[in-house]
Amino acid sequence: MTPLLKKVLSRLAAKRLLDGIPAMETSCPPLVELAAYLDGRLRGRERREVEGHLAGCAGCRAGIIELRHILGALAIETAGAPEEVLQAARNIFKDQCARQACAR
């Protein structure tokens, strides 16, 4: 996890506590999976499982809203980035997703 992502997630967690939003439980999907759901990379059973979880978890529903804002802001910031930088960021994210999937 990059220092920037750690900082963003740390501030997001602190904001959620201050706003009285329920914390995500250990049974909740990881943020990487929620991000995949948001951008349409989850299909079939995986997508239905996340949707079912979201139907019953206020913390994850709030997390999805916040994650959507964060991902939108990051997309705006990277709009002018050189393709090499974007590809390096994609590779780092892909590696982190693979490591997280192996840890499950």
Position 1 scores a pLDDT of 45
Q: CB burial class (10 A; 0-12, 13-18, 19+) of residue 9?
A: middle
Q: Name the nearest CA neighbour of 92 among 68, 104, 74.
A: 74
Question: What SS3 state is found at 81?
Answer: coil
- Work out how many domains the chain is built from and give that number: 1
Given a cut of 80, is residue 14 above it in pLDDT?
no
- Is 28:56 a contact under the CB 8 Å cutoff? no
Position 81 scores a pLDDT of 59
Position 45 scores a pLDDT of 95
Torsion sign, CA atoms 51, 77, 98, 27? negative
Region 33-42 average pLDDT: 84
Structural domain for 88, as ranges = 3-103
Query: CA-to-CA distance for 43 and 28, rounded, in angstroms?
Result: 18
**pLDDT tens digit string along 40-83?**
889 999 999 999 999 998 888 888 887 787 777 776 655 565 67
Helices (H), 20-82: 31-38, 44-56, 58-78
Position 50 scores a pLDDT of 93
Q: CB burial class (10 A; 0-12, 13-18, 19+) of residue 60?
A: buried
